[in-house]
Amino acid sequence: MADNSKSAIRITTVLPSIFYSRLFSPLRERMRNLLLPLNNRSRMKKRVLIILFFLFFLIYLISIACNREVVSYVAKPMLTILLAIYFLNNTKQVARIFRILMSAALFFSCTGDVFLLFEDKGEAFFLAGIGSFLFTHLAYIGFFLKIRYSNYPLPGCQWPFIFLTAAALLLFIFTMLPYLGNMSIPVVIYAIFISLTLLTSMHAFRLKEQTMGWFAVTGAILFIASDTLIAIDHFYHAVPAGDFLVALTYGLAQWGLCTGGLKYLQIRQEYGTRSMRTN
């Protein structure tokens, strides 16, 4: 009797599992096959966007080198537009605040680019460009602060970098101040905020283990280099190949800042998905 009851229990437990596997396994496999092209399309779309970014970046550099202003008027704003689309496409499951702050940074960068394209038409365009990029850096500062305070354990303070950044800022201000004229206050305020972008990007990541943070830090340094070249060229004296160097450092800066933040958020998103599956 005991053997019969054990056999009955085995049958009642094994049969449903066999039935389930035979019925639903083919369906599950079909669903995977149906979704695979969609995933491939999504990946292809993301690759196309970054390829387009570097294509327009190359066109922009060539237009600067060949003095084709009309082409640069189209190519330069497209850089930040493509980066914004690329970032948003890769962060659909990320908290909205990250998407809003990065989108704001790239939007104000785009408007600043447009204003600075016409800086030779009058000082008002240059001032409007500085104002737009000031909002860009406010958004970047907010973005990297948000990363820092959601990145536990919190990254430590990099005091040598803080003092080095402060020294570089003071050197720039005291060197350029005699040449700034009535633009002294806007330029000094802008210089402070772009320095804060560097410091917040540097303190958003534990750089030894979160190496993607170096993309953002390098991007911030290149942004400072680009804007320093603009300031020297605009207020002091012409920089040889200045326009080309500004374009090169600026494009790489925006890509670095966006890529560093994106890579961190993607890893965080993958980790969250894995933990949900294990639970």
pLDDT of residue 3: 54
pLDDT at 275 over 50: no
CA 247 to CA 253: how far, in whole Å?
A: 10
**Residues composing the chain:** 279
Residue 118 has φ and ψ, to the nearest 5°, of: -115, 25
Average pLDDT over residues 16-41: 52
Domain-embedded: residue 7: no
pLDDT at 44: 75
Residue 134 lies in a domain: yes
Q: What is the percentage of the chain residues whose pLDDT exceeds 70?
A: 81
Residue 148 lies in a domain: yes
More confident residue, 207 or 279: 207
How far does Cα 1 stand from its chain's mean position?
A: 70
pLDDT (tens digit, 9 = 90+) per residue, 258-270? Answer: 999 999 999 987 7
What's at 130, amino acid-wise?
A: I
pLDDT of residue 19: 47
25: left (phi over 0), alpha (psi -120 to 50) or beta: alpha
Phi first, then psi: what are they for 261, rounded to 5°? -65, -40
pLDDT of 175: 95
- The predicted model gives 165-194 an average pLDDT of 96
Binning pLDDT at 50, 70 and 90, where does residue 60 land? very high
pLDDT value of position 10: 54
Is residue 236 one of the residues assigned to a domain? yes
Q: Residue 4: what pLDDT?
A: 55
User: pTM of the entire structure?
Assistant: 0.83
Q: What does the pLDDT read at residue 276? A: 41
Predicted pLDDT of residue 46: 76
C-alpha Rg value of the chain to the nearest Å: 26
In a domain, 133, yes or no: yes
User: Using one digit for the tens of pLDDT, what is the confidence trace for 67-110?
Assistant: 888 899 999 999 999 999 999 999 998 999 999 999 999 999 99
Domain assignment of residue 239, given as a range: 49-278
What average pLDDT is seen over the chain?
87
Place 29 in a pLDDT band, splitting at 50, 70 and 90: low
- How many domains are there within the chain? 1
Where is 86: in which H helix or E strand?
helix 69-89
Section 60-70 average pLDDT: 92
Tell whether 21 is covered by a domain: no
Confidence category of residue 30, pLDDT binned at 50, 70, 90: low
pLDDT of residue 20: 46
